[in-house]
Structure 1
Amino acid sequence: MNGAALDAWIAALPVQALVFALVLCRVSAAVMLMPGLGEQTYPMTVRAGIALCLTGLVMPLVQPAFGALDPAAIDPWRLGGMVAVELLTGGLIGWLAQLVVQALPVAGQVISLMTGLSNVLQPDPALGSEIAAPSRLFGLLAPVLVLVSGAWIFPVRAVIGSYALVPAGSAILSVHAPLIGDGVQAVVRLTGRSFALALELSAPFVLLSLVWEISLGVLGRLVPNLQVYNLASPLQMLGGIGMLALLMRAMLETWQGRVFDLLSGLPGL
Structure 2
Amino acid sequence: MTSVSANEGRGPLYRLYINRLRRRISPDGVPHHVAMMIDGNRRWARQLGYETAAHGHRAGAAKMHEFLEWCDAVGVEVVSLYLLSTDNLTKRDSRELSDLIEIIADLADELSRDRDFRVQHVGRADLLPPELARSLAEAQERTRDHTGLHVNLAVGYGGRSEIVDAVRSIIAQHDRDGGSLEELAASLTPEQIGEHLYTGGQADPDLVIRTSGEQRLSDFLLWQSAHSEFYFVEALGPDLREVDFLRAIRDFGSRHRRYGS
Q: TM-score, normalised by structure 2?
A: 0.24
The structure richer in strand per residue is: 2
More helix by share: 1
- Give the structure, 1 or 2, with the largest relative contact order (CA under 8 Å, sep 6 or more): 2
Q: Which has the larger radius of gyration?
A: 1
